Amino acid sequence: MDERQLRILRELGELGSVTAVAEALLVTPSAISQQLRLLQRSIPVPLTERQGRRLVLTDAGQALAGAAVEVETALARARHTVEGFLERPDAEVSVAAFHSAGAAFFPLLLAALAGPGKPAPRLADEDVPQEGFPRLTREYDVVLAHRLDHAPPWPDTVAVTTLLREPLDVAMPADHPLAAKRRVTPRDVADEPWITVHEGFPVLAVLDAIAAAAGRRVQLAHRINEFAVVAEVVAAGGGIALMPRWTMRPHPALVLRPLSGVRARRHIDALHRPERTARAAVRTVLAELRRAARTIQERDADAPAARETGRRGT
């Protein structure tokens, strides 16, 4: 077996098909199949099996794919040491984030890394469903991802640093009848028109929980992923919405009210492949992201008037 064969096996476990692996590695499906056959010849037990039209890993294949992570990490360290790149402090580091995380973290990260001798961040926005974030770690050194508090954990193929556990509050116009309440319940909000995300994005599951707790379906009036746009539509009277408490700027026409009776909180996590932290510049970026997360939370704690009136960041 060799490094390339192990990587193909690892990618097959993540992507689920020979065609998807071939597209990711920019080779033909037949080349992928040939490498899998060569790898299989060196292993006395089956590594893959057919499930319908899909090729999946057996238990032995999953175990070897997990070991491939350690192999790639070790080889990455060796290559970086030879190249003199491992401890280079000012290397380029690519960071992707979904929109509200990018708005909150990117300015703080740029400020922290300004000046000579610091990593050079290359920033990008990526608005994908929850299951799409781990795949982005093939393209970026660090990926800021979000998932609901009670959602399944990220796969073992990525390393995870939790930056924030951010409450999701109910956003409404300041003159809305529910704005007089300090907190709202599922029954309070179930009959309101809702502005929510597209299918596959984690915030939608909270609305399902609201509907279950209230005993009736909620009305989905508009589908908008970008929270800054959502805030404007709420302010214009288009409905109410779930909004993150810390990572969006306050909107003067809105108030946020905490939601009782359901778990409405998301994790903002930094995902990366384990071998990426062999680079000092990536470790520095992760440390600055953790520092930025503390700043974001402390910024909310330093605004008692906002907490008392409910005018939190939207």
Residue tagged 């099996």 (tokens): 49
Please state the rounded mean pLDDT for residues 141-168.
Answer: 94
The CA–CA distances, whole Å, from 66 to 48, 55, 63, 75 equal 14, 17, 5, 15
**CA–CA dist 11, 16 (Å, integer):** 8
Would you place residue 147 in the very low, low, confident or very high pLDDT band (cuts 50, 70, 90)?
very high
10, 16, 19, 77, 102 from 51: Cα distances, Å: 18, 11, 15, 36, 39
CB half-sphere exposure, 186, CA atoms < 13 A:
17
Phi and psi for 150 in degrees, rounded to 5? -100, 10
Mean pLDDT throughout 148-171?
93
% residues pLDDT > 90 (the chain):
58
Are 256 and 176 in contact by the 8 Å Cβ rule? The answer is: no
What mean pLDDT comes out for the span 71-85? 72
Q: What is the DSSP string of 187-235?
A: HHHTTSEEEEPPTTSTHHHHHHHHHHHHTSPPEEEEE---HHHHHHHHH
Q: Is the pLDDT of residue 307 over 70?
A: no
pLDDT score of 311: 42
- Structure-model confidence comparison of residues 150 and 97, the more confident one: 97
**CATH fold of 3-83:** Arc Repressor Mutant, subunit A (1.10.10)
- Tell me the two tokens of residue 267: 């994790």
pLDDT tens track for 248-306: 889 999 999 999 999 999 999 999 999 999 889 999 999 999 999 999 998 876 554 34
In this chain, the answer to whether the domains covering 3-83 and 166-265+304-309 adopt an identical fold is: no
Q: Which CATH class is domain 166-265+304-309?
A: alpha beta
Q: Which of 45-54, 82-91, 115-124 has the highest mean pLDDT?
A: 115-124
User: What is the average pLDDT score of the chain?
Assistant: 89
Domain edges within the chain: 3-83, 92-142+149-160+270-301, 166-265+304-309
pLDDT confidence tier of residue 309, bands split at 50, 70 and 90: very low
CATH class in words for 92-142+149-160+270-301:
alpha beta
Tell me what the mean pLDDT of segment 79-96 comes to: 80
Instruction: Encode pLDDT of 204-257 as tens digits.
Output: 889 999 999 999 999 999 999 999 999 999 999 999 999 999 998 899 999 999
pLDDT of residue 86: 65
Q: 80: which 2 tokens? A: 């970086």
- Cα–Cα distance, 143 to 130 (Å, whole number): 12
Structure tokens that stand for 122 in this block: 């290359």
pLDDT at 314 over 70: no
Q: Which residues contact 291 (CB under 8 A, 6 or more apart)?
A: 108, 112
CA–CA distance, 300 with 314 (Å, rounded to integer):
12
Which of 83-92, 183-192, 205-214 shows the lowest mean pLDDT across its residues? 83-92
* Global confidence as pTM: 0.73
The full 3-state SS of 266-283, as one line of letters, equals EEEEEEECHHHHHCHHHH
Identify the pLDDT of residue 306: 40
Would you state the pLDDT for residue 301? Answer: 64
Residue 20 vs residues 69, 93, 126, 265: alpha-carbon distances, Å: 19, 26, 20, 33
Res. 77: pLDDT tops 80: no
